[in-house]
Structure 1
Amino acid sequence: MSRAREAERRARDVLDPVHFDFLAGGAGAERTLADNEAAFARRRLLPRVLRGAGAPDLSTTLLGAELAAPVVVAPTAFHRLAHPDGEVATAVGVAAAGGLMTLSMMATVAVEHVADVGVPLWFGLYLQPDRGFTAAVVARAQDAGCRALVVTADSPVRGRHTRDLAHGFRALPEGMVCENMRDADWRVRDLVVDADLTWDDVAWLRATTSLPVLVKGVLHPADARLAVGHGVDGVIVSNHGGRQLDGAVSTLDALPGVVDAVAGRVPVLLDGGVRSGTDALVALALGADAVMVGRPVLWGLALGGAAGVRAVLGDLADELAHALTLVGARRPGDLTPDLVVTP
């Protein structure tokens, strides 16, 4: 059992069961949730030997951010459900690990407070029908020092989360709100998911901000080509951690088609199912420039606050470095698809 999986097992014992199921659960019968991890189990590594690779070097530059490893923390909501210090503790742990954090629009700590930690920060954005409010949120994130916007594209409607429906979980506990949803009058707005959004809205965002824009939720190669054609700065292969369309393809299975469609024009990240450094290596070998991790970070946060987050990310990096040497590579950029086979 990887350390990330062990952290999940232990987190179940310390979290409110309703909150654990919100963080851990997926949509429908949770087939896609399970398949995100199972897709890695279907792969095997075909290592090279006597390559003289030497000591591993995981350092990576991603859209100008210098990272200790090609691992980015994915945008996940409501970190204060896992730890009283919420996203601030997450940011402290990510900074200590030399990483990059994507802060959700649905964070329970304001972007300004998280940015004060000094961690390299991206902002996870849901485009709202009220463009004035969206522009204000974008300006707020930019003023706080966020380095890029990560636009969620796979949520035209809210996912039907089986466990949440069973528990009747519909609202945050008293005293918690989505701090980044405050408007000019400091009222907290409800998040609106919008089935009318199109690529024109992405073009509008590109014209609204100077920040790099990544689109998260791309699985189909045609959408990857459209994303690049609309001037995005990065594509994130994601099925929302199995929380939207149950039965959607796993992100690892979708990755090669997206990589081929993007053809190196912008970075491609994989989000979903990464639970070990070896998983990360498989995704990198199949063409991802970096991987995103979400739930493992939340389990580390629940178990040890900032130190728990740092431990989870450090373990992933150590596992990746170890696997990198064993397949005969020194850097993530040395990995090639022929190192991965499906028996």
Structure 2
Amino acid sequence: MYRAGVSGITPKVPTSAEKLEAAARRALMRRPGGRRAWAYVYGGAGSGVTMSGNRDALDRRQLVPRVLRSTDRRDLSTEVLGQRLPAPVLVAPIGAAGLVRRDADVHIGRAAAERGLPYILSSQGSSPMESTADAMKDGPRWFQLYWSRDEQLVDSFISRAEDIGAGALVVTLDTTTLGWRPWDLDLGSLPFTRGVGIAQYTSDPRFSEMVAERVAQDAGAASGTQSDSVKVTPKAVQTLFEMARNHPGGLRRNLSAPETRAAVQTFLDTFSNPALNWDHIATLRDRTRLPVVLKGVLHPEDAQRAFDMGVDAVMVSNHGGRQVDGSIGTLDALVRIRAAVGPEPTLLFDSGIRNGTDVVKAMACGADAVTIGRPHIYGLAIAGQQGVGEVLDNLLAEIDLTMSLCGASSWDEVDASLLA
């Protein structure tokens, strides 16, 4: 970067977390629907205490660099679930990323693949998983599952994830219902009601059957009225237009086709499963050959129970502070869980990572790898695939630099002894 600066070339994507966030906000606010997009991407649960707690837990930890350690040769690579990664970084699943840029998942997937980093495809993706996987070519990918009320749909998603070569199945546990999110609530905005973030569903054969059943049911309803009435307003008409634009097929047909609205209604009725419990998790060994990761675990007893059941990894996460306001910061939770389960089980860290120093701190606290969420979406907002790539490059460069300056040449040398 410094050499390029001699010629007056500066980064397109800011290198500091604060400037990155501000630049992404400006970029989104210039676009139609930008306020809704920013609210969904940036906003957290309640008053934002958990979001702040995630940062506080990271900022409270201080690194104690060692010197004269000969770190001229460094190796950032590591192994997670039998997969060799160039660095302990995975690109987190972000639902409804299509709010930020069309074909968002393809942009993100390509950027991750170019760097050999796994992209965790979201159930709430804005492109079918098959399209994203094709765009990633041989790039590593995992799949994140929201457990639907319809068990056949769960099986269909799992089967499709296996078919696209997913390296693991990440089951999200903390979103059996959406959290209290004032940023979205105050705008009356949920992207899925506009058909954004439901591409995995509208491309699924089982979901198509469910939509057809609903259309038939509505067609047979008494008096010829639709089963779910919506007050006709200019905003409602705009929402219908957005549904039609986001639904597979042509815009003109979608505007009049009953499947367009039925797909959104079916999704809203089946998206999350408040009845999800340990019995559901116990069925996974008979349903998939993929390694299973449970995402959203914060309590040590839950982590231990998961490993006792044979789960392959636990992702310590509070959903980026978007679900429970006042929840424990994830790094504090990681420390407690690592102490409870011991050194061997695989623990992934999610929620709060903003820079390379954060990654080193998380690894020193017992993580085997981390995921990066909002920052890569900010890069997407600023410059699409290039923006995502620059965010990832900056993160990897800062990890490498921080390791070197702390006297570590590999992750074997990063542990609690580097923390104050």
Matched with 2:345 is 266
Residue identity matched to 1:166: D
**What is the deviation of 1:313?**
0.7
SS at match of 1:275: coil
- The 1:6–1:66 alpha-carbon spacing in structure 2 relative to 1, beyond 3 Å, is farther
Aligned equivalents of 1:175, 1:196: Cα separation in 2: 25
Question: What is the rounded CA distance, in whole Å, between the counterparts of 2:126 and 2:157 in structure 1?
Answer: 15
Residue 173 of structure 2 contacts residue 295 of structure 2 at CA under 8 Å; is this kept in 1? yes
Q: Partner amino acid for 1:162? A: P
1:11 aligns with 2:24: yes
Give the structure 2 partner of residue 284 of structure 1: 363
1:184 CA displacement: 2.0
How far is 1:170 from its partner?
2.3
Shift of the 46–197 alpha-carbon distance from structure 1 to 2, 3 Å rule, reads same
* Correspondence for 1:211: 290
TM superposition shift of 1:174: 5.3
One-letter amino acid matched to 1:39:
A
Unaligned runs of 5+ in 1: none
Pair 1:155–1:148, CA change in 2 (3 A): same
Name segments (4+ residues, structure 1) moved above 6 Å: none
SS of the aligned residue for 1:181 comes to helix
Q: Decide whether the 8 Å contact of 1:79 with 1:298 is kept in 2.
A: yes
Report the alpha carbon displacement of residue 83 of structure 1 after superposing the two structures with TM: 1.4
Q: From the superposition, tell whether residues 101 and 17 of structure 1 become closer, same or farther in structure 2 (CA, over 3 Å).
A: same
Using the aligned pairs only, state the percent identity: 40
1:139 aligns with 2:159: yes
- 1:56 to 2:74 alignment: yes
Which residues of 2 match residues 1-343 of structure 1 at below 5 A? 3-15=16-28, 16-116=34-134, 117-118=136-137, 119-172=139-192, 176-182=196-202, 183-184=204-205, 186=208, 187=211, 188=263, 189-190=266-267, 191-341=270-420
Contact 1:2 1:276 in 2 (8 A): no
Residue 308 to residue 13, structure 1, CA distance change in 2 (3 Å): same
Give the conservation status (yes or no) of the 8 Å contact 1:3–1:312.
Answer: no
Correspondence for 2:248: none
Shift, 1:4, TM fit: 3.4
Deviations 1:289-331 (A, max 9, x none): 1111110010011111111111101101100111101111101
Which digits, 9 at most, give the CA deviation of each residue in 1:243-297, with x for residues without a partner?
Answer: 1110000001111111122323331111011101001000001110111111001
CA spacing shift, 1:3–1:173, aligned 2, 3 Å: farther
CA RMSD in angstroms comes to 1.6
Structure showing the higher helix proportion among its residues = 2
Deviation, 1:43, is 1.5
Q: Secondary structure at the match of 1:195?
A: coil
Partner letter of residue 64 of structure 1? G
- TM-score normalised per structure 1: 0.95
Post-superposition CA distance 1:78-112 (Å, at most 9, x none)? 12111122100000111122211101100010000
Separation in 2, partners of 1:175, 1:232: 33
CA contact (8 A) 2:45 2:181 kept: yes
* Count of residues in Structure 1 that have an aligned counterpart in Structure 2: 341
Task: Determine helix, strand or coil for the equivalent of 1:231.
Answer: coil
Shift of 1:173: 7.8
**Contact 1:268–1:289 (CA under 8 A) maintained in structure 2:** yes
Greater alpha carbon shift after TM alignment, 313-322 vs 77-86? 77-86
**Residue identity in the other structure for 1:95:** A
Change (3 A) 1:274 1:115: same
What SS class does the counterpart of residue 87 from structure 2 fall into? Answer: coil
Give 1:138 shift. Answer: 0.6
Output the CA distance in 2 between the equivalents of 1:176 and 1:331: 41
Relative to structure 1, the CA distance from residue 327 to residue 154 in structure 2 (aligned partners, 3 Å threshold; closer, same or farther) is same
Aligned equivalents of 2:49, 2:129: Cα separation in 1: 33
C-alpha distance in structure 2 between counterparts of 1:109 and 1:262, whole Å? 37
SS of the aligned residue for 2:316 comes to strand
Query: Counterpart amino acid of 2:23?
Result: R
| Structure 1 position 175, deviation (Å) | 6.4
Q: Residue type of the partner of 1:154?
A: D
TM-superposed CA distance for 1:172, in Å, is: 4.5
Spell out, residue by residue over 1:147-170, the C-alpha distance to the aligned partner (whole angstroms, 9 max, x if none).
Answer: 111001112321111100011102
1:2 CA drift (Å): 5.2
Distance in 2 (CA, whole Å) between partners of 1:235 and 1:339 is 24
Residue by residue, what CA displacement relative to the aligned partner does 1:222-262 show, whole Å, maximum 9, x if unpaired?
01100101111111000011011100000011111111223
Letter in 2 for 1:60: T
